[in-house]
Amino acid sequence: MICQHDDNLKVTRCGYTVIVMAVLWLTEALPIPVTALLPYSFITTIRLMLGLMLPTWFLSMWISNTAAASMMVPIISAVTDQVKAADTEEEKGNI
């Protein structure tokens, strides 16, 4: 039963995160890049990589691969900075 409760909790948290992000994206109450980083604590490295690769792939359908990669460089740089900052805070015990 404990396992089932944990699964329901994970599903509930995920659903809540999706709804909050959708509202924030639509209303632009927070800048979209900030909203995009909200669920950082809920994702793994593989999902993060997939989240960066899929938009690049999507952009590459309409613009050249070089242009798509160039557009993603500042985004990846910002995400990398956020991950490093989160890791540093976690090491210090601030989280």
Question: What is the model's pLDDT at position 30?
Answer: 78
DSSP state of 76: H
Over the chain (95 residues), the average pLDDT of each successive run of 10 is 61 82 85 76 68 86 89 88 82 68
DSSP category for residue 41: G
Distance between start and end Cα atoms, the chain:
30
pLDDT value for 65: 87
Q: What is the pLDDT of residue 6?
A: 62
CA distance 2 to 6: 6
Here the tokens at position 21 are 């992000």
The per-residue pLDDT for 35 is 78
pLDDT reported for residue 13: 77
CA distances from 12 to 6, 19, 32, 38, 46 (A): 10, 11, 23, 16, 22
| pTM exceeding 0.85 | no
